[in-house]
Amino acid sequence: MTQMTEPDVVTAPGTDPQPVIEMRDISITFGAVRALDEVSLRLFPGEVHALMGENGAGKSTLIKALTGVYTIDEGTVLVEGESHEFHSPAASQAAGISTVYQEVNLVPNLTVAENMLLGREPRRFGAISVREMNRRARRTLLHLGVDIDPRSVLDEHPIAVQQLVAIARAVDVEAKVLILDEPTSSLDADEVEKLFTVMRRLRDEGVAIVFVSHFLDQIYEIADRMTILRNGRLVEERMVAETTQLELVRLMIGRELETLERLDREAPNTEAESGTPVLKAVGLGRKNTLEATDLELFEGEVVGIAGLLGSGRTELARLLFGADHADTGELTVRSEKRRLRSPRHAIDRRIAFSSEDRKAEGVVQDLTVADNMLLALQASRGWLRPIPQATRTKLVTEYIKALDIRPADPTALMRNLSGGNQQKVLLARWLITQPDILILDEPTRGIDIGAKAQIQAKVAELAAQGMSVVFISAELEEVLRLSDRLVVMRDRRKIDERRNDDVSVRDVLEIIAGEAHPEGDPHA
Amino acid sequence: MPESPTLVVRVLRHPLMWPVLALGVLLVINVGVKPSFLDVRMQDGHLYGNVVDIMRNSAPVMLVALGMTLVIATRGIDLSVGAIAAIAAAVACTRIIGAGDEAALSTAVMAMTYAVVVCIALGAWNGLLVSVLGIQPIIATLILMVAGRGISMAITDGQITTVNNPWFSDLASGFVLTLPLAFLVAIGVLAFTAVLTRRTALGMLIESVGINPEASRLAGVRSRTIIWTVYAFSGFCAGLAGLVIAANTNSVNANSLGLWIELDAILAVVIGGTSLAGGRFSLMGTFIGALFIATLTRTIPNIGIPSDLNYLFKAVVVIAVCLLQSPKARAVLRAGRPSSPRPVPAKAGSPA
Amino acid sequence: MSTVTARPDSAWDRVKDFTPPPRYIPIIATFALFVGLFGVGGMRYDGLTDPQVLISLLIDNAFLIVLGVGMTFVILTGGIDLSVGSVVALSTMIAAKTLQMGWSPYLSIAAVLLTGTVLGLLMGLLIHYFDIQPFIATLAGLFLARGLTYLISVESISINNSTFSELAFGTVYLGDYYIRWTALLALAVVAIAAYVLARTRFGRTVYAIGGSESSAMLMGLRVAFTKVGVYVISGFCAALAGLLFSLYILSGNSLHAIGMELDAIAAVVIGGTLLTGGRGYVVGTLLGVLVLGAIKTLISFDGTLSSYWIRIITGVLLLTFVVVQRFATRRQQ
């Protein structure tokens, strides 16, 4: 039902020397962590400004500083040249800054018009004038080129339309700045195009748009200027047209090309790639999450998955484990065709999966280290068959020692451990189940160097003992160091697969940036 | 803070510290008003006295609260326990009356077994609604809360049914080893629950599901089975409680039997330190919580206030305990004291 | 999704093609249930089709209608109020006691309404500002109100104030039929509530909170005011229902209205309001009360069925609505 007008001609960003927003040397500290360190951002009217960076770069923190959710410790915010301090989202909105978040922050049970105008409904004699409200909503929607009935209930519409309604709500207050935080992460290509049409229209009317997306193609299609962040610091502000994709990826990941030499690494395990694969996915995919993907995993092999955040690396791992349901494709585990309906099924087939979201999907904060370690094994045995005390003690002591977990106290509560030690406990949780296939999604994120090296060593050791490992990490060096075979993903697709001999970080960067000619699958 | 806390600090930090202290305060008040309050005398081989009465009277709430503790630990709630208790009583009483020999031991045992099995089935029904259909616990158990008393009345045909079976009434008024049987039954179920949860892996898996359902799912925990089990167990406990209450009066009044016992049980659980948000649970805490409620009920007439007013005091206790457990209220309290650190500002959430 | 342009269809085509918006389906189902109950009953029992029976349904259930209206506000925000039964009992007791003490009836009414409103306010503050779960905060309210009732008097107190009796039996004749003031008052409460929910910012915020409280907060709506407000309204409605109940039963008693909160919740749910909040209408609640009343009437007309069937049937209806709602919302997700 949505109908779009033709996109307008893309014009060069405004040459107005006065930015509508200027954030200067912003610093924010959370406890001991410096989330933003003297970051600056300039937004000009009539431009789409991409905010780029990997996990933990500080994008969300910067946005929340601008929208008044977080208080700024140091630095100034200028709105049209005048200094402002935002202590609440309302204050920021009053200054003309509107935000649309990734998860649509509207109420699903009310109509489109109400969602656009809640809190500022037109009234006659004190009562809300529904007719006037619908009229005004339709006018705004049509102005954006969105033709839907404002009287329809919001959750009757697909997410893409809801996203547009959220934008319409933001625009209705005559926003000077519109922040779109990952609006495209769950949209398909057509829906993205509709969104871009609306964005171009607003830009041409002089709105400054901040756009966050993990899809490089989208950035190059829509953005005029970009600010790149890394580890809470400003890397550079660039014009999109003057930056190649390779440069952009390099800036985001943060390696100078000169130093990107191959790291010392043992020769890949080539004998492994023979016989029947222990795990084989054919056309595995899920709507709006992952395009149909093939993957083979052999005994004793480490397959590394490289790709940026949002490239589909995590999504693939979750489908392999049955944490999410696949819409298409089939999965063969040890020549047995299986639809993995749940993690339980996967674990019964000796697959283990450690999620990237340690806090929400890994640790059980209020249980002890011992309980956390034994959770998966105990879950497999069922509650009626507790692990005998002697076995418990033996397993827990053994793994605390093997992985050097500190404090070496099985009765310590999980919440009192550092991130690195929590990660080791989670690794132990899965190793105790003696899996054949181990899927590790960012097992070394946000942990200290020592713990990282220990985990890497353990993974290499396990593979040498015959375990098959899928290793996902945002750090390319790490993936290259550990893996026998490399899968590169981008924009929810597998774009390349090659044996890891003579592959350098630079090669991978070029593949991700779309500048290399992909090799075929070595098995093809 | 020193490396190894002193004994005093360890006692002060113990999770049972507050419930025990509250119970102690109540007892002190009672002794202050009536110095002979704690006196216990021996008569006909039985112990008599206020303390013994408190033990006996605490049994029904304690039983219900034990099942409720496990349900609450999984982030659930069971509002139907009062209705289930009424059904248990109705089933047992009509069975006893319908039996060939109304006063026989076998009659009492058969009737009670039958009633308890019915209650386990009712609990499993709640579990089905919660774990399989995914209905919110408060809503799922509300259904049986509404219909249950009707079912109980249907079983007794709307009559207040009186039974005459000495074995059955012993459940409430009998003594074993000088102690009230009802209390011993409750202690028995407490021990059984402790073994059930702490000697098997049930307790750990319940806590895991209650603390982090998603992490538990990814670790392969069959939370559906766990949740089903705890609701069935809650039905079992509620059934036993209903039998004790019915045995106490040798009759069943479907309208009033076990009325508001779900609220007392939730109160006992909360007083015992188990959070309504789920997660770690304390059976000993619940035990003390139930004793606290029974003592409170006894205290009110003892200090010269009409016993019907116990609701007023319970209201105060509910509010006090909830405020003590509420992080927001604690932050307000802490902000009032200048020496302690200020509450963490809102931005301290993870910077993601 | 409907189209923007008008279609040149005939009137009949439009009637033929008409499908009600999904949000009205629960209400239509409840209405059909109500009509069905009376249709089947009318065939079996003489006298049931007399319009006066219908009007009596309103008269006999006036207090429950008012109670249900307050509960609807709370449930629409995703909360629950367990205290209303006890507040009704407290209200009958305050009215009876103050009248016995020789207060003016109007002062007595004011005292009742003020007490209920203040209790609602306190619970609302606990829920919003201390993040206490609604059921536990209103559980405290339940105990408090019941305790206060016993504090006033353990005995039942009868009401024999002439003004009260006049109010209780104040009747409007419509030709051959009559309706009492109390029923008209209840209908007025429904009308006012429907207006507030549909046409004021407060009302729309109630729905928004039920849809997503965090979104409502981010949209800059007055979440705190509204969340506390619904409990104030529920407290006020419970007090008003208590007054109507004391007019109906003409006594104050601490054993009144035990479990009435369950009737109110059942009426709201059977009226099509989603227990998780965000969807529903007070008109549905009115229909829900009438369905419960109709079941009672049918059972009393039948004479062979015992009164406990009311509870069982209510439970079955509750189950049906909850399960159907569950599947309806699951499909949408």
pLDDT, one tens digit per residue, over B176-196 is 888 889 999 999 999 999 999
pLDDT band at B254 (very low <50, low <70, confident <90, very high): confident
- Number of Cβ pairs < 8 A linking chain A and chain B: 100
> Is C199 near chain A, with CB under 8 Å?
yes
Residue B143 has pLDDT above 70, yes or no: yes
Task: Write the CA distances from B155 to B92, B262, B350, C262, C308, integer angstroms.
Answer: 10, 21, 56, 21, 10
Pick from C1, C198, C207: CB nearest A149: C1
Q: What is the band of C8 on the pLDDT scale with cuts at 50, 70, 90?
A: low
Neighbouring subunits of B (3+ Cβ pairs under 8 A): A, C
Question: With the CA atoms of A463, A464, A465 and A467 taken in that order, what torsion angle do they form, in degrees rounded to the nearest 10?
Answer: 20
Q: Does A342 touch chain B (CB under 8 A)?
A: yes
Task: Look at residues C294, C264, C277, C325 and name the one whose alpha carbon lies nearest to residue C25.
Answer: C325
The strand pairing partners of A111, in sequence order, are A153
Nearest-by-Cβ selection for B348 from A30, A361, A386 = A30
The mean of the pLDDT values for chain B is 87
Directed axis angle between helix B283-302 and helix B261-271, to 10°? 120
- pLDDT value for B296: 92
pLDDT grade for B232, boundaries at 50, 70 and 90: very high
| A28 contacts on B by Cβ (under 8 Å) | 347, 351
How much is the average pLDDT of A32-51?
A: 89
Work out the pLDDT band at A516, boundaries 50, 70, 90: low
C200–A127 C-beta distance less than 8 A = yes
User: Burial code of B81-110, b = ≥16 C-beta within 10 A, e = fewer?
Assistant: bbbbbbbbbbbbbbbbbebeeeeeeebbee
Under DSSP, the state recorded for A118 is T
pLDDT at C13: 67
Specify the pLDDT at position B350.
Answer: 36
Interval A164-209: pLDDT, tens: 898 888 888 778 899 998 887 767 777 788 889 889 988 998 999 9
CA-nearest residue to C318 within chain B is B143
Neighbouring subunits of A (3+ Cβ pairs under 8 A): B, C
A156 neighbourhood in chain C, CB within 8 Å: 1, 22
Closest CA to B149 of B262, B253, B266: B253
Percent of chain B scoring above 90 in pLDDT: 51
For residue B98, pLDDT over 90 is answered with no
Q: Which residue has the tokens 């959370």?
A: A30
- CATH classification at residue B318: 1.10.3470
**Which DSSP string corresponds to C300-325?**
HHH-SS-THHHHHHHHHHHHHHHHHH
Long-range contacts of C306-310 (CB under 8 A, 24+ apart): C306/B153, C306/B154, C306/B157, C306/B158, C307/B158, C308/B149, C308/B150, C308/B153, C308/B154, C308/B158, C308/B254, C309/B150, C309/B154, C310/B150
Chain A, chain C: beta-carbon pairs less than 8 Å apart: 77
- Residue C12 has a pLDDT of 66
DSSP-H helix ranges across A236-383: 245-253, 313-321, 343-348, 358-361, 369-381
pLDDT bucket at A394, cuts 50 / 70 / 90? very high
pLDDT at A272 over 70: no
Chain A residue numbers with beta carbons less than 8 Å from the beta carbon of B208 are 364, 367, 371, 375
How close is the nearest chain C Cα to the Cα of B28, in Å? 24
Partner-chain contact A31 B216, CB within 8 Å: no
Interchain proximity A366–B216, CB inside 8 Å: no
pLDDT at C10: 66
Q: Residue A55's pLDDT is what? A: 66
pLDDT, one tens digit per residue, over C250-299 is 888 888 888 899 999 999 999 999 888 999 999 999 999 999 999 888 88
Q: Is residue A103 part of a domain?
A: no
Looking at the complex, does the CB of residue B349 fall below 8 Å from at least one CB of chain C? no
The percentage of chain A sitting over the pLDDT mark of 90, rounded to a whole number, equals 36
Q: Do C262 and B314 touch (CB under 8 A)?
A: no
State the alpha helices, DSSP H only, in A205-328.
Answer: 216-222, 245-253, 313-321
Q: Average pLDDT of C309-323?
A: 90
In-domain check, residue A225: no
Indicate the number of domains in chain B: 1
Contact C126 B319 (CB under 8 A): yes
Closest CB to C314: pick one of B134, B147, B319: B147
Residue of A nearest to B212 (CA): A364
Q: What phi and psi values does residue B323 have, to the nearest 5 degrees?
A: -65, -40
Decide if pLDDT at B294 tops 90: yes
Instruction: Check pLDDT > 90 for residue A370.
Output: yes
What was the pLDDT predicted at B328? Answer: 77
CATH number, position A302:
3.40.50.300
pLDDT, mean of residues B257-264: 89
Residue B22 has pLDDT above 50, yes or no: yes
Mean pLDDT for A335-346 is 83
Confidence (pLDDT) at A368: 93
pLDDT of A6 reads 38
Query: Alpha carbon A266 to chain centroid distance?
Result: 31
The pLDDT of B50-74, averaged and rounded, is: 94
Task: Give the domain extent around A483.
Answer: 280-512
pLDDT band at B340 (very low <50, low <70, confident <90, very high): very low
Nearest to C127 by CA among C79, C85, C82: C79
pLDDT at A274: 65
- Binned at pLDDT 50, 70 and 90, residue B4 comes out as low
- Could you say which DSSP state residue A342 is in? S
Q: How many CB pairs under 8 A join B and C?
A: 125
pLDDT bracket for residue B35 (50, 70, 90): confident
Model confidence at A65: pLDDT above 80: yes
- Cβ atoms < 10 Å from Cβ of C211: 25
Q: Let me know if residue A423 belongs to a domain.
A: yes
Which among A67, A84, A151, A142 is positioned nearest to A115, based on CA atoms? A151
Find out whether the peptide bond into C22 is cis, omega within 30 degrees of 0: no
Residue B352 lies in a domain: no
Class of domain C54-332: mainly alpha
CB of A269 closer than 8 Å to CB of A304: no
Contacts of C among chains (3+ CB pairs under 8 A): A, B
Distance from CA of A343 to the nearest CA of B (A): 6
Is C264 within 8 Å of C68 (Cβ atoms)? yes
A121 in C contact zone (CB under 8 Å): yes
What chain C residue is nearest to B322 in terms of C-alpha separation?
C132
- Is B18 among the domain residues? no
Contact A361 B215 (CB under 8 A): yes
> Across residues B327-344, what is the average pLDDT?
56
> Would B101 be classed as within a structural domain?
yes
Q: Give pLDDT, residue A81.
A: 86
- How far does the CA of residue A127 sit from the closest CA of chain C (Å)? 5
Query: What confidence score (pLDDT) does residue A10 get?
Result: 39
Which of A101, A127, A152 has its CB closest to that of C199? A127
Question: Which of these ranges, A41-55, B106-120, B321-335, C128-142, has the smallest mean pLDDT?
Answer: B321-335
pLDDT score of B343 more than 80: no
Q: Is-contact B176 B184, C-beta < 8 A? A: yes
CA B205 to chain centre: 21
Domain total of chain A: 1
Full domain range(s) for residue B274? 58-336
Q: Which range has highest mean pLDDT (A481-490, B36-45, B260-269, C85-94)?
A: C85-94
CA A167 to the chain's CA centroid = 22
Residue of chain B whose alpha carbon sits nearest to that of A376: B219
| Cβ contact A121–C195 (<8 Å) | no
pLDDT in tens, B75-84: 999 999 999 9
pLDDT digits (tens, 9 = 90+) for A42-56: 999 999 999 988 766
pLDDT at A403 over 70: yes
pLDDT at C97: 94
Closest listed residue to residue C288, CA positions, set C75, C92, C141: C75
| Alpha carbon distance C48, C12 (integer Å) | 34
Distances (CA, A) of A43 to A64, A80, A174, A209, A238: 16, 10, 17, 8, 12
Chain B CB within 8 Å of residue A381 CB: yes
B144 inside 8 A of chain C by CB = yes
CA distance A189 to A197: 12
Q: Which of B200, B207, B218 sits opposite A367 (nearest CB)?
A: B207
- The answer to whether the CB atoms of B351 and A61 lie below 8 A apart is yes
pLDDT of residue C14: 64
**B326 min Cα distance to partner chain C (Å):** 6
> Which tens digit of pLDDT belongs to each residue from A231-250?
888 999 999 999 888 888 88
ipTM of the complex: 0.84
Is residue A323 within 8 angstroms of chain B, CB to CB? Answer: yes
Q: Is residue A44 part of a domain?
A: no
Would you call A362 and B220 a contact, using CB atoms and an 8 Å cutoff?
A: no
Residues of chain C contacting B276 with CB distance shorter than 8 Å: 133, 136
Comparing A1 with C68, the larger pLDDT belongs to C68
A103 reaches C (C-beta below 8 A): no
Residue with tokens 């748009």: A209
Q: What is the mean pLDDT of residues A96-121?
A: 87
Q: Is the pLDDT assigned to residue A63 strictly greater than 70?
A: yes
Per-domain residue ranges of chain C: 54-332
